[in-house]
A and B are shown apart, each in its own frame.
Chain A
């Protein structure tokens, strides 16, 4: 098999374009779930039925209008190495579910990796748009345009009362999940995070840590997303999320200022220690790497470190994941070898 372009580069092209509020909001993701009528959902699909779904969806790829989003490249899970799947998950281009559980699962990925369309995941179709920074409206509009194109060709399961019908009752209605990935180190340091998080859950939104499902946020990265999909219009969902994220950004900014103002020396010490460790360590595990990278990112954002572009840290967030390391340095790395190569990679990127 030829090498898969999407697993060669750690950073998706779309990530390098900057974006609004990019010092706190790393990325925006919108996904919509759709299913076809008269076909069982993927959970109950036979091999033949899921093949048929894939065939129907692949047929849409030749649509002229779709070309405005760049070439969409189909990637079948059946033909993919475990390692490549893992990297696609680490880059958020596919879900763990599609990688591990799907029958005839596939993904269509645009060349800049900002659009990924999953087939035979939990639902027949999952259209996902990724944007750098805070761009919820933009991401929704693009996903909706892609949605319209698919709708021209395939028969969606739609009910006038319940809306778009999905496999999981938590997605029914709009099928829309909009989420924003935020770096909130100052709210964590000042112990305000739990207050914010519980407030957020009261307005129909949920918060998750980034890598890993629990609320255990590695590297102070949090994903805020809408929980409600039924009984609110897409516009309401998007506005609600956007409004709340703006408020969290305000709180994070205030907390950063307060930290700088009241304990500049300790902040500088913390940031510079982490910078030093990343520049010189010979062994580092993924958890420590994520924490140190968070410190250094904060240092860059508040001007304590000037020589390091924020982009490098975005890149390292993906490069220090287990899948990417194994891809670079060999599949059979032992955990301790992995920690060694991780440290080496970070040294080379941060040290210069």
Chain B
């Protein structure tokens, strides 16, 4: 990816700025970043790319030994609730159930340390378990339905459609 400022050098800095919920993404090279550093509004003392970099490095121990040219990635963030991984490790609480999905790659060492294990072997909820299975079945049938329509086998398609309706009715009845 080229730097979005000069368009000449490759972009080595990628970060996201969120102001009042408005998200702006930056992909720039180091030279432009140094120039732009003063222009990016931030804290009262002025926003410095170097502060951002050192902040990131302090936080991720894995980055420390690496050279300054290493690409700092934008902070890992749960896209459902907005909690960043940094916030999570500071407060030690997940923000929502999707955090588990977005932070998944980082969680094994943590769970290993806390529990000595990483995988659940206990109770599986009856309905949700069944629900997940039914949803998968419906998805399969929908794909099949598409195929039948493409192949103009309408009679079979109608049968599959009825089957889907049946399953969907069952699902929603169970969840009421």
User: Could you list which residues of chain A lie within 8 angstroms of chain B, going by C-beta atoms?
Assistant: 35, 37-41, 43-44, 122, 144, 147-148, 151-152, 155-170, 172-174, 176, 204, 228-234
Say whether A229 contacts B115, CB under 8 Å: yes
What's the dominant secondary structure at chain B's contact region? loop
Q: Complex: how many Å from CA A65 to CA B83?
A: 38
A-B contact pairs, 15 of them (CB 8 A): A43-B95, A122-B93, A152-B127, A156-B128, A158-B128, A159-B100, A161-B119, A165-B94, A165-B97, A168-B92, A169-B111, A170-B114, A231-B116, A231-B117, A231-B118
Assuming the A-B contacts A152-B127, A159-B100, are A168 and B93 also in contact, with contact meaning beta carbons closer than 8 angstroms in the complex? yes
**B83's closest neighbor in chain A, by CB?**
A44
Q: Collect the chain A residues with CB atoms within 8 Å of residue B101's CB.
A: 159
B interface, size bucket: 20 to 34
Partner of A44 from the list B95, B125, B126, B128 (CB cut-off 8 Å) is B95
Closest Cβ of chain B to A45, distance in Å, is 9
User: Could you list which residues of chain B lie within 8 angstroms of chain A, going by C-beta atoms?
Assistant: 80-81, 83, 91-97, 100-101, 107, 110-111, 114-129, 131-132, 175
Q: Collect the chain B residues with CB atoms within 8 Å of residue A229's CB.
A: 115
Q: Complex: how many Å from CA A144 to CA B127?
A: 14
Say whether A169 contacts B97, CB under 8 Å: no
Closest Cβ of chain A to B132, distance in Å, is 8
**A154's closest neighbor in chain B, by CB?**
B175
Assuming the A-B contacts A151-B125, A156-B125, A230-B111, are A169 and B92 also in contact, with contact meaning beta carbons closer than 8 angstroms in the complex? yes
Q: Collect the chain A residues with CB atoms within 8 Å of residue B124's CB.
A: 158, 160
Say whether B120 contacts A173, CB under 8 Å: yes
Q: Collect the chain A residues with CB atoms within 8 Å of residue B120's CB.
A: 159-164, 172-174, 230-231
Assuming the A-B contacts A44-B81, A158-B128, A169-B114, are A233 and B122 also in contact, with contact meaning beta carbons closer than 8 angstroms in the complex? yes
Q: Complex: how many Å from CA A40 to CA B78?
A: 11
Most buried by A among B92, B94, B111, B127: B94
Q: Complex: how many Å from CA A39 to CA B110?
A: 24
Assuming the A-B contacts A43-B93, A169-B110, A172-B111, are A151 and B128 also in contact, with contact meaning beta carbons closer than 8 angstroms in the complex? yes
Say whether B93 contacts A232, CB under 8 Å: no
Q: Complex: how many Å from CA A65 to CA B124?
A: 20
Q: Complex: how many Å from CA A155 to CA B83?
A: 22
Q: Complex: how many Å from CA A151 to CA B128?
A: 8
Most buried by A among B93, B115, B123, B131: B123
Q: Complex: how many Å from CA A113 to CA B94?
A: 31
Other than the given A158-B129, A169-B107, A173-B122, 20 more pairs (CB < 8 A) read A40-B95, A40-B96, A41-B94, A43-B95, A152-B127, A161-B118, A161-B120, A162-B107, A164-B123, A164-B125, A165-B97, A166-B94, A168-B94, A172-B111, A174-B122, A174-B123, A230-B111, A230-B117, A231-B117, A233-B122
Say whether B83 contacts A228, CB under 8 Å: no
Assuming the A-B contacts A44-B83, A169-B111, are A232 and B122 also in contact, with contact meaning beta carbons closer than 8 angstroms in the complex? yes
Q: Complex: how many Å from CA A232 to CA B118?
A: 10
**A148's closest neighbor in chain B, by CB?**
B126
Q: Collect the chain A residues with CB atoms within 8 Å of residue B122's CB.
A: 163, 173-174, 176, 232-234
- Nearest first, the 3 A-B pairs at minimum CB distance are A231-B117, A163-B120, A157-B97
Most buried by B among A35, A165, A168: A165
Q: Complex: how many Å from CA A123 to CA B43?
A: 34
Q: Complex: how many Å from CA A99 to CA B83?
A: 25
Q: Complex: how many Å from CA A176 to CA B121?
A: 13
Say whether B100 contacts A162, CB under 8 Å: yes
